[in-house]
Every structure is written in C-alpha cells, then in structure tokens.
Amino acid sequence: MTTVLQVVGLTLTTFGVSFLLIAALGVWRLPDVLSRLHALTKADSAGLALIALGAACLKGRPDSLLVLGLCVVLVALSGVTIGHLIARAHLSEGDLE
C-alpha cells in the first residue's frame, strides 16, 4: 500500500513539475502579454495542484492535506484574480507601460 501511494505520489509530482516547466517555457517564449498570462495561470492551477496532490500521497498524513489544499486554493485564486486584472488593464490601456 505504501509503495503504491509512493508511486502514485511521485508520478503526480512529476506531472506537476513538468507543467511548471512548460509554463515557464511559455512565459519565456510566447509572443504577447495575453498568451503569457494564459501560460502563467495554467501553472498556478494545474501544476501546483498536481504537485500538492503528489506531496499529500507521499506524506500520507491528513493534517498536511489541509495545508496543501489551502496552498492550492490560494495560489489558484491569486492566479485567477491577478490574471484577470492584468488582462483587463492591458485591454483597456492598450499597453501598461
């Protein structure tokens, strides 16, 4: 049982980390602000959620599950809000500079 959880946890974490790496690549390479925002919000929600889920499997303790869940919710919420605000400001001004 422990080994199954460990394998699942490591797999999930690996997926999450690759999400983060791809998002970093996207923020680096994509051509304009809005597409870069798109890459950022994916990392915030999906990548971190997978990593936290994997970490919870590896840790195997219910109390860490609460902290990890809160981390995921808060980061996703921040990503959504900041993404929306930057995009809105960008559209209404043309350019934020």
Residue 37 binding other proteins, by CB under 8 A: yes
- Cβ proximity to other proteins, 2 vs 95, nearer residue: 95
3-state secondary structure 10-57: HHHHHHHHHHHHHHHHHHHHCCCHHHHHHHHHHHHHHHHHHHHHHHHH
Distance between CA atoms of residues 41 and 22, nearest Å: 12
Site residues for other proteins, 62-91, by CB under 8 A, read 63-64, 67-68, 70-75, 77-82, 84-86, 88-90
Other Cβ atoms within 10 Å of 21 Cβ, number: 12
Site for other proteins, rule CB under 8 A: 10, 13-14, 16-17, 20-21, 23-25, 27-28, 33, 36-37, 40, 43-44, 47-48, 51-52, 55, 58-59, 63-64, 67-68, 70-75, 77-82, 84-86, 88-90, 93, 95-97
